[in-house]
Structure 1
């Protein structure tokens, strides 16, 4: 899984590094999420791997982390200034809460607990529901999927759980739950929601069976040469989008937390360059900046 130990990785993380944090608060757009259009498919990214999808009249919230921290300890994984302008109070009613796996930067206890009154249903990977039930979510709300299983929910939304090359675990327990990517079929749109994954042949296999996709949301950031199998390098993110037969790539898993050793802006710079070389359309919204699939594609290099 990884070439370096957890202890050595933590020592490296605690050493000073160049540009590991932004030098000033990140720019953002504050949007009234209750007024998003009810036709088409709109995406709002909240930094890292948290985002909201409005497909027709259905609202899907993916891997929300609004507590300000992506870790069980305060000194690790604190959000960048300016990146946490959205919270639970800003969320509309959620038709589907989608949780890809149980790592702290994707499954946040404080956020998930506070969201419960707003959530109608949850879709997640096999085993993750046990966390939610301990946090007072009723079993009737939760749909767990193993790889290649699908569920039709809210009438017009079909979710299919698919393989990813990653792992699961909270604190010292690993492998108690599954981790997944998801295909979301909605009215007139098909999206690939990548979760976390290293690069491998599964992207091409998924693209051949389920593609093409109107949009792929793929991890791009928090990588390390010692973790080649569980996170992608930015160039691999662009290649994965091509393998998936994605029309547009939205790079996520960056822009909110420092969980690796690279400069905070390096992932988006590298994936942008590779996407340009490959002729792959890329969308790079600011945090909170809505865009509609097939229409406007924000592409400003706001991180510079």
Structure 2
């Protein structure tokens, strides 16, 4: 009896209304506004003038813009547009209600009591909002998020997953291009929380005998109109499991690309911001699923942006994760939906919110949440954390896209948190304007001057240098740059030697070297070993440059 395995290059592309799922498409309120103000207009524009979009996609200067990358039949896009308009009517009504309620508060919330306004709130929002002022008499509404998820506004019938083998062809930029042509894979219309995805993910390594495969096939078929390519997603060749135990006397850190770190030691495994290459499409040597341990004790998410919270990989890891750790949100404010609620709806059973300087004990070690300024366009967004992970007496600090806007904060942290052996910091210091990510939520268009000034950027050289001077790490690694070729469909980033983030991170590396601090900008794959014999220094495994 033969055993088959899910092929290592099969992607799980999570979709909502056939658009790649990112956090703002999961929370009901943000979905409604992104659908109304971004996704539908992009697809409508493509249907009206496809050649304009095709020309823009070919222009490198337009990369990351609102242009659909589809050179196939426009009729298929027209069909998808009609389906979207029909299926998201309740969400569009919610979007209109949010905009009208905001206008109502702006016009009438002048310091007087807001109680009479509850009767004037549009019907889709009745019962799910609280009206209030800040201490400066600015009126706003707070969403009661659990009630939104309990309503039909959270519609799992909009969710699906596209299974397809990845090759060398680049993927289109997912924030501008929906899945229009399904001919290259298998579209499965099952919710993200369905245990079906755990079974499929297990099949990548555990394999299925003939009865088990038939059972799985039958379950998929219940949610799939076309099973033609399903069998071709499997192989009889067993996978090459490459994970090995870390050093017994220390800690090993593996870099998987972009912001993904696997920290192992003292019998614990901690995975940060998971995303992986599919080997067949990577274009360079890399770690992938087969380099992970069978069980991941803690999965840490730093913040609620689409390049750090990727459901494509979270769905494939769900069956092997113990606890997911996320930062607390601002409790119902539109721009800061709860990551905990989103992940619970996606099917994770153990999700823990961590506050700034909150700590989780790991035997003799710990995970500590670190304050995180910047990269969110000056919006009050609380759901962002760096992490200090201590295992086996070694300390690893993951600062993600922290922008050192106030050096006094890091001086305060330095008095409370020991200096790390390794520090990982993002330096994508150019960033997009505020409207690129948050524009769908604005009732009034920002001036160009304000939009350009309020950017989604991390630390430049001067700011990163100050962090290093205050926290005194023994080794520094620049990461989370979005530079790997397999990640361009998420970030749309392509660097050259003149790119500002490259110039600034080169300055930081040179500065660290003058201080005898090992430093490097990570790309593709890296392994760093911290051993007891290397106390006070950084031991690096040179086998994985």
TM-score normalised over the length of structure 2? 0.43
Q: Contact 2:296–2:320 at 8 Å: present in 1 too?
A: yes
Whole-Å Cα distance in 2 between the matches of residues 40 and 31 of structure 1? Answer: 22
What is residue 371 of structure 2 aligned with on the other side?
Answer: 163
Which residue, out of 493, 510, 517, partners 1:280? 517
Q: CA deviation at 1:279?
A: 4.1
1:134 and 2:345 aligned: yes
1:86 and 2:317 aligned: no
Which residue, out of 301, 321, 324, partners 1:99? 301
Q: Hey, which of these two has a bigger chunk of helix by percent? A: 2
Distance 1:238 1:281, change over 3 A: farther
Whole-Å Cα distance in 2 between the matches of residues 156 and 116 of structure 1? Answer: 26
Q: Contact 1:196–1:231 at 8 Å: present in 2 too?
A: yes
Q: Contact 2:376–2:456 at 8 Å: present in 1 too?
A: no
Q: CA deviation at 1:143?
A: 1.4
Q: Contact 1:167–1:179 at 8 Å: present in 2 too?
A: no
Specify every segment of 5 or more residues in structure 1 that has no aligned partner in the other structure, as ranges.
Answer: 1-5, 18-29, 69-78
Whole-Å Cα distance in 2 between the matches of residues 66 and 286 of structure 1? Answer: 13
Distance 1:87 1:150, change over 3 A: same
1:42 and 2:252 aligned: yes
Distance 1:65 1:229, change over 3 A: closer
Which residue, out of 229, 241, 244, partners 2:468? 241
Alignment RMSD (CA, Å) = 3.6
Specify every segment of 5 or more residues in structure 2 that has no aligned partner in the other structure, as ranges.
Answer: 1-37, 39-55, 64-239, 329-337, 432-451
Distance 1:277 1:218, change over 3 A: same
Distance 1:165 1:218, change over 3 A: same
Distance 1:227 1:86, change over 3 A: farther
Equivalent runs, 1:74-223 vs 2, <5 Å: 81-82=283-284, 85-92=286-293, 93-126=295-328, 127-138=338-349, 141-152=350-361, 154-166=362-374, 178-199=383-404, 200-201=406-407, 202-221=409-428, 223=430
Q: Contact 1:65–1:111 at 8 Å: present in 2 too?
A: yes
Which structure is higher in RCO with an 8 Å CA cutoff and minimum separation 6? 1
Of the two, which has the highest radius of gyration? 2
Q: Contact 1:38–1:54 at 8 Å: present in 2 too?
A: no
Q: CA deviation at 1:43?
A: 0.9
What is residue 477 of structure 2 aligned with on the other side?
Answer: 250
Whole-Å Cα distance in 2 between the matches of residues 227 and 44 of structure 1? Answer: 33
Per-residue CA deviation, residues 156-204 of structure 1 (Å, 9 max, x unaligned), is: 33222121113569xxxx8676101122232312222212211132222
Q: Contact 1:247–1:281 at 8 Å: present in 2 too?
A: yes
SS in structure 2 at match of 1:290:
strand
SS in structure 1 at match of 2:257:
coil
SS in structure 1 at match of 2:415:
helix
Per-residue CA deviation, residues 237-268 of structure 1 (Å, 9 max, x unaligned), is: 23312221212112111242464575275454
Number of equivalent positions? 263
SS in structure 2 at match of 1:33:
coil
Whole-Å Cα distance in 1 between the matches of residues 341 and 242 of structure 2? Answer: 33
1:297 and 2:505 aligned: no
Q: CA deviation at 1:223?
A: 2.9
SS in structure 1 at match of 2:284:
coil
Whole-Å Cα distance in 2 between the matches of residues 175 and 113 of structure 1? Answer: 29
Q: Which moved more, 1:197-206 or 1:104-113?
A: 197-206
Whole-Å Cα distance in 1 between the matches of residues 383 and 343 of structure 2? Answer: 14
Whole-Å Cα distance in 2 between the matches of residues 115 and 229 of structure 1? Answer: 28
1:15 and 2:96 aligned: no
